[in-house]
Amino acid sequence: MTLTPHSRPPEALTEKPTHYCPGCGHGIAHKLIAEAVDKLDIRGRVIGTAPVGCSVLAYFYMNFDVVEAAHGRTPAVATGIKRAAPDKIVFAYQGDGDLAAIGTAETIHAANRGEHIAVFFINNAVYGMTGGQMAPTTMEGQRTSTSPDGRDVETMGPPIRMCELLNTLDRPYYIERVAIDGAAGVRKARKAVHTAMQCQVEGKGYCFVEILSPCPTYQRLSPVDALGFVGENMKSVFPTRVFRKNGEVVDA
């Protein structure tokens, strides 16, 4: 098969097969970031940071520098890199357990300071690497290995909505939530990822893109049905839209 310019893999991705489960959204998210890096021609300037979690081996798949961070500390590492090397384009790539649980403090304070980094938050509503436990973003009634009867908001609290939380702060420049729930969703996600990276090239400030992502293994669905779960279940709890643009809050 001859690859057309539209189907050719991004140069910013390596050719190494990934360890992700079939139907996982991480591979799509990696490709979208790599496409933005190629389109903006910043492969020689960009530095990614990734933590413990499903994306722990992200540096195998990115054809540019990626720094491994301790669990939850990715925003702090990204902040240090950007302040030490302000000419670099720096992004953090994190999952929901990492960003919204152990890394909550680092996430909120990096956003509150308006650090010049982009954050790509993969929300699949479950801990995907360690056995499918309940995550901060697990939805009410959703069954996991540690909430076998479903998340009970009376004892476990409701899911945390990170875009809404960060949008209460003054310093973020751009906040958007998108969903990998089909072709149209991927196109919107591609645009959001590119916008966040473009803002970094232009020195605009802190950008946060939440990507609702399928996890067929722990959603216990087929890859196709997992896309439907994102579109039909997750988007009703985590509405997809732009929350902050050009530093200004966007009304719902």
Asked if the model's pLDDT at residue 138 lies above 80, the reply is yes
Question: Alpha carbon of 183 to those of 26, 34, 63: distances in Å?
Answer: 15, 18, 25
Summarize pLDDT for 60-80 with one digit per residue, the tens.
Answer: 899 999 999 998 899 999 999
Distance, in Å, from the CA atom of 43 to the CA atom of 31, rounded to the nearest integer, reads 14
pTM of the predicted model as reported, rounded to 2 decimal places:
0.94
Instruction: Flag whether pLDDT at 163 surpasses 90.
Output: yes
Rounded to 5°, the CA angle 154-158-159 comes to: 155
Looking at residue 223, its amino acid is: P
Asked if residue 95 lies in contact with residue 50, where contact means CB atoms within 8 angstroms, the answer is no
- Whether the per-residue pLDDT at 234 is higher than 50: the answer is yes
6 falls in which pLDDT band (50, 70, 90)? low
Q: Supply the pLDDT for residue 50.
A: 92
What sign does the dihedral 91-94-100-102 (CA atoms) show?
A: negative
How confident is the model over 219-226, as a mean pLDDT?
92
| Confidence band of 165 (pLDDT split at 50, 70, 90) | very high
**128 vs 151, residue with greater confidence:** 151
Contact 223, 213 (CB under 8 A): no
pLDDT band at 107 (very low <50, low <70, confident <90, very high): very high
Which class for 114: exposed (0-12), middle (13-18), buried (19 or more C-beta within 10 A)? middle
pLDDT digits (tens, 9 = 90+) for 175-198: 999 999 999 999 999 999 999 999
Higher pLDDT, residue 81 or 20 = 81
Strand ranges, E, within 56-158:
65-68, 89-95, 118-123
133 band by pLDDT with thresholds 50, 70 and 90: confident
Decide the pairing of beta strands 248-249 and 241-245: antiparallel
- Report which residue type is found at 139: M
Q: What single string gives the DSSP state of each residue in 171-217?
A: --SEEEEEE-SSHHHHHHHHHHHHHHHHHHHTT---EEEEEE---HH
Q: What is the mean pLDDT of the chain?
A: 92
- pLDDT at site 1: 37
Q: In this prediction, what percent of the chain has a pLDDT beyond 90?
A: 77
* pLDDT of 47 higher than 70: yes
Q: What domains, with CATH codes, occur in the chain? A: 26-249 (3.40.50.970)
